[in-house]
Each structure stands twice: as structure tokens, then as C-alpha cells.
A and B are shown apart, each in its own frame.
Chain A
Amino acid sequence: MTDNRLGRIWGLVAEQAAVRGGRVSAGDVCAAAVAGIQVTGAWLSAARGGEAGHLMRVTDDLSERLAELQLTLGEGPSLDASASGGPALASDLADGESGRRWPVFAPAARQAGAAAVFAFPLVIGAIRAGVLCLYRDRAGRLSSVQLADALVFADTATLLLLDAQAQAEGDQGPGAGPGGQPADLGAHRAEIDQATGMLTEQLGVSITDAFARLRAYAYANELRLTDVARDIVARRLRLHPDPGPSLGGDT
């Protein structure tokens, strides 16, 4: 069930990259989401940790306008999503709920031509990579299938953004492999999250970097992420700040 969705979503994203003629990147998620979820437009901003995001991709002018509006006004679904760690779903910018939450943004967005906005934070717990936003020119909720797809688009964008960051910083390489589908984080999730936390202490790095190191180790050693995580949590495996992790639990 989940595997099919992941594969299907990845296929849509990879297709966009192919159309563009480049390697798959987080920005490709925007166009793929527009096609796959039937929204009018999408935009993605990337952020490192708690910093304000910079706009990375827009699919049309109105997307750009909506992104700018939120920055200017200091309110909007993107900002709420970033702050709360959960999505902000405004199916109808004209309804009382939207008016209550974003008294200035909601009417301004409607005036610009948007009727619904859906913002998805790109997060893995305390790891924050940015926000993916979708808008529609007609009011209406995302169906449960569309919502599930949107969440997986967001997951995909998160991992692609983190990959790009890690590569830019010269880390050992992406968790996915060149052009490959990112690993499914769903299975045995708790250990992955716990191991990531443990690595912040073992390596003396941020949670974002800890996650990059965890994925890099799995990739470099051709191991499954969940297996590496389990070994770390069980204290059979320890990573070190220097290159070259050791096995066997020695300190």
C-alpha cells in the first residue's frame, strides 16, 4: 500500500526531472505535485534549521506572489506549517476559519486569485528543510488520496533537499544513491529517529547533520537504514567524528 504510493510519487517526480533534462531535485516535486494532485500551482522554499526560507521553485506567477505575500505580511499557511511541524490546510480562503487564522493574508490571497492553499512543512521531527505549498484557484478540500499523495510528495522533497545540502557540504553522498528513490522512512521509524538523536551526541553535530551521516553510512556500506539504526540503538555500532566508523561498540 505505502510502497506503491512511494514508487508512484517518485515516478512522477523523476518524470519532471527527465522533462527538464536534469538530475532529480526537490524543485521537481512542485511540477509533479501540480500534475499528480490537481492543484493549480505549487512552490517550495528551502530553509536550514530555523532560518527563514528562500524560495527555491515556483510553478507559476501566482505561486510566487503567494510566497511573497506571506513573507511580507508575516502570516499565512506556510509560516504556520513551519512553526507547528504539521500541515496547514486552507480548503477555502473565504471561510471563517481562514479569516480567523490569517486575517490579512486570506483576503489578499483571494484577491490575487487563490481560493485554497495547502502548506506542508518539510520536516523529520526537529529536522527542518523547508515548506512545500500548493494552491488551487477553486475552493475545495484535498481528498484523502490527494492528501496522502501530498504528504509523500513532501517527504520526497524533504529527503531531496537534505541530500542536496549534504552534497553541497561535501558529505559522503546521498542517502538515495544517484538518481535513486529515497529510502522509505516509514518502517521501524522509532529506531531511525532515536539513532539520529544518539548521533548528535556521538558526533557532536546538529540533528540535520546526524541524519545525513546516518544515511551516508548506510549508503556507503550498502546497508538498510533501519538495520544501521537498530545497531546504533542497541549499541552494537558507534559512529565517530573522524571518517571511518567502527563496529563492535568500542568508544
Chain B
Amino acid sequence: MDGQLLSETFVELTDTLVDDFDVIDFLHVLTGRSAALLDVSAVGLLLADQRGELRVVAASSEAARLLELFQLQSDQGPCLDCFRSGQPVTATDLGTDQRWPRFAAAATQTGFGAVQALPMRLREQVIGALNLFRAAPGVFDLADVRVGQALADVATIGLLHERNMRRSDTLNEQLQTALNSRVVIEQAKGKLAERLGLDMDQAFSVLRDYARSRNRRLSDLARAMVDGTETIPGPGAIRGQQLARAGQIRDEPRLGQEPRL
């Protein structure tokens, strides 16, 4: 593991734990960094909706097939077992593992050979799981597991950025708020995908890049977009911004003037 990248990752993550941060964006950064840091192909973060289901809240890639794989585990899979037991769950060879037939079939079909689920825990309460996927079957490196668990713990802390982290009421409030924010983001993805003729993964990138370039919270921007109080420019305007950043043109095209695709 890259020691430098490891330090930078933790500094970056803890740096974002400031007052006005956006928890969904934070969790996306965390899953992205986890995928870069650990010897894995994809990382997903699932939270338990108190109604009793595991729901995807962030992933290192928004590719539909991947999200589906995470989502499947609401019925069966390492994440569900991990959530229920509060213990890490590992499958070193999905091709031969008998525990979760439907999940294993879907995972191997998507090209994954091994999976690990690490619990997100606050004292006695398990709130979700960090899910690591790897293409090659085999055991997970011990250092990776330790760092992965530390990242899962940082994710838990990130969810509770309020002062009073000891109250389970606060935890429950934050969880539900985060889950609802994710729904807003999915709605925004759909709206943007349709308007700009993109797939969901691309739509998410547009949303996120726009939020960052405007220094806006991802959840707030997504809501404003869905409510119709804000418009995200089409590819023409985005290209214009790229050129502007490169110093080639002076003015950005005005928002709202892009043709609807």
C-alpha cells in the first residue's frame, strides 16, 4: 500500500469534517479513495435504513450494474451478514462460495472474484457496511483489511459530524437525512440524464463536478436542480467552462441558453 497516499487520504477525509460539509459527497470521496488505496476494484457504502433494509449511499463508481450488485445485498450477501453480525465477512472465491447463490452469481457475472464487507459500527449499533469488491479471487491483504476498517470507522464518524455524537437520536436523525439526500441525488441524476442524454454515471459526474466548481454542497444543488430553482448547463456550456479554465476564451456561455437535448 502506498504510505503517502494513505496519509493524504486520512488528512483529506478529516479535513472535510467541517461545519458545512456534505455527507453524501464526503462518503463518495471516501469510497473513491478507498478504491484507490486498497487492492480492490470497487467500493460501496451501504447504510441500514431503520425500516430494516440496506441501501446504497455511495460508491466508487456509479455504474448501474455495480449499484445493482450492492443493492442486491438487501436480500442476501456479505453486507447483510456483516450488518447483522457486526463482524467482517469475507468471500475469497465467489465462484465456489455457497452462502449467497444469487448474489455470488451476479457478482461473478459482473467480473468480481472476491468480496469483503466491513461493519460500520458506533458502539453497539451497526449502522451499515463498507463493501469491497475485487476481480481476482484470493485472500485480502491484512493491511488492506485494517485500513479498510479504519475507513469504515471514518465514514461512521463523518455521518455524525454534529457535536453530540453520543446520542443515538442524533445518529438516527443523521442516517435518515443521509438516506433521503441520496434519494434526492438519484432524482437529480434521472433529471439530468434525461435532459442531457447521459447515462446515470455520467449524470452523477456532471452534478458533482458542477457542485465542486461552484463550491456548492452536492445535496443542496441536487435538490435545487430537482425543484427547478437551478439549471445545470448542457455539454456545450460545460465545454465552454473547460475552455475558459484553459484560458482560451474569456466568457462562459450564459446558463439557461443551452438547447434542450
List A residues at the B interface (Cβ < 8 Å): 1-2, 5, 49-50, 84-91, 97, 121, 123-126, 141, 144, 147-148, 151-152, 155, 186-190, 193-202, 206-207, 233
Contacts and interface: CB of A to CB of B under 8 A. Distances in A.
Given A190-B67, A195-B190, A85 B184 contact: yes
A146 B237 CA distance: 49
B184 A194 contact: no
B226 A5 contact: no
- List 7 tightest A-B contacts by C-beta distance, closest first: A197-B190, A86-B177, A125-B183, A193-B186, A194-B190, A197-B191, A201-B194
Contact of A198 (B64, B74, B169, B190): B190
Given A85-B177, A148-B51, 9 more contacts: A49-B227, A86-B179, A97-B167, A126-B227, A151-B49, A188-B71, A190-B67, A200-B190, A201-B191
Contact of A125 (B51, B67, B172, B180): B180
B221 to A, nearest CB: 12
Q: Could you tell me the dominant secondary structure of chain B's interface residues?
A: helix
B51 A152 contact: yes
A232 to B, nearest CB: 9
Interface string B38-63: 00000000000111110110000000
B91 interface: no
Give the size range of B's interface with the partner: 35 or more
B193 interface: yes
A196 B167 contact: no
Contacts of B110: none
Interface centre among A91, A147, A200 (most CB of B within 10 A): A200
Contacts of A198: 190-191, 193-194
Interface string B145-177: 000000000000000000010011110111111
A84 to B, nearest CB: 5
30 contacts: A1-B52, A2-B53, A5-B51, A86-B173, A86-B174, A86-B179, A86-B180, A87-B176, A89-B173, A91-B169, A125-B183, A125-B226, A126-B227, A141-B168, A148-B50, A151-B50, A186-B53, A188-B71, A189-B55, A189-B183, A190-B56, A193-B183, A194-B186, A194-B187, A194-B189, A197-B186, A198-B193, A199-B194, A201-B191, A207-B226
